Chain A
């Protein structure tokens, strides 16, 4: 709260898109916007994940340490509840990718509610977009590997009588090859963007009302209480969106691996 009070003079109300473009954190001139808080948060995410999993698995014990138990639980959750449940026993070979994806998205999203960070890299479309492209290339590659080039026919020609196919094939192409990567990226991005915007509105709105007239102080307090409540809502959205991204990736892989009907 103190940090925001200090930052208040620069903060305009209402908040806008420009609030997502933070200044560079590198002190010297001429570096442009290559190293911002967003960049740093992604680097920290990657560092945390690498260090955590390396140390957790470096010396696995039969009776696990807490850290190892935690790492095992995360991997076991994605492996059993997403990969195997969605794809079947063949899904085990995708569990490492899905776990990496899940942890990366979850941590990146989590920065949105970590005090002091309070902005998620996922609220910039670039990160979800690249993740969606990776998943997109993955499921197409898996499909081509399994069915050969016939995968595309398998994917866009539904089991239906021939006269209705001209109606259905465009829908299948649009739904399977255009909407999928787009919706993966936009769903994650928009949720994190809107969440950050919501918190900004209630936090800065409290200050705006307080600055307008002291009579509105009780409403400002209500607004900040709402900020706290919405932070918990954000926690839910963060978990849900990382789960949904991974579940849908697994679903697309499952579709690519499915046998002919």
Chain B
């Protein structure tokens, strides 16, 4: 529906850049569409859409490693304390990995 709106007759607007109110426009933004020979607005997608994200891989990696490191470290502290000989570190790392995967699913998957 929003797509058909965009293809219809130009909407009245007081800014030079679609979707940006006049006060927000900097000189560079005024000249850019003309300069680039590309007066079309950048494809904005529908307002409800998530923008395409190229950073999610890093975020996922960060959660997974953080989970393993944090809970592995806590497990290591427990090992030092109660002298479990490394078992608590291993359990902590596995639990942390599970927590990291859960976080990836909640934060990125939803």
Q: Chain A: residues with CB nearer than 8 A to chain B?
A: 57, 60, 62, 64, 68-69, 72-73, 75-76, 79-80, 84-89, 92-93, 96, 158-160, 164, 167-168, 170-172, 174-175, 179-180, 183, 244, 247-248, 250-251, 261
Q: Name the A residues within 8 Å of B95 (CB-CB).
A: 167
In Å, the complex CA distance between A64 and B67 comes to 51
Q: Chain B: residues with CB nearer than 8 A to chain A?
A: 19-20, 24, 26-29, 31-32, 34-36, 42, 44, 51-55, 58-59, 62-63, 65-67, 69-71, 74, 95-96, 99-100, 102-103, 106-107, 110
B24 touches A80 (CB 8 A): no
Contact A171 B28, CB 8 Å, known A64-B35, A72-B35, A72-B36: no
Q: Is the interface of A mostly helix, strand, loop or mixed?
A: helix
Residue ID in chain A nearest B58 by CB atoms: A248
A72 touches B32 (CB 8 A): yes
Residue ID in chain A nearest B34 by CB atoms: A62
B51 contact from A85, A160, A174, A261, Cβ within 8 A: A85
Q: Name the B residues within 8 Å of A73 (CB-CB).
A: 36
Contact A171 B71, CB 8 Å, known A62-B31, A62-B34, A179-B62: yes
Residue ID in chain B nearest A255 by CB atoms: B59
Q: Name the A residues within 8 Å of B70 (CB-CB).
A: 170-171, 174
Residue ID in chain B nearest A85 by CB atoms: B51
Residue ID in chain B nearest A183 by CB atoms: B62
Residue ID in chain B nearest A89 by CB atoms: B19
A171 contact from B31, B55, B103, Cβ within 8 A: B103
A170 touches B71 (CB 8 A): yes
B35 touches A68 (CB 8 A): yes
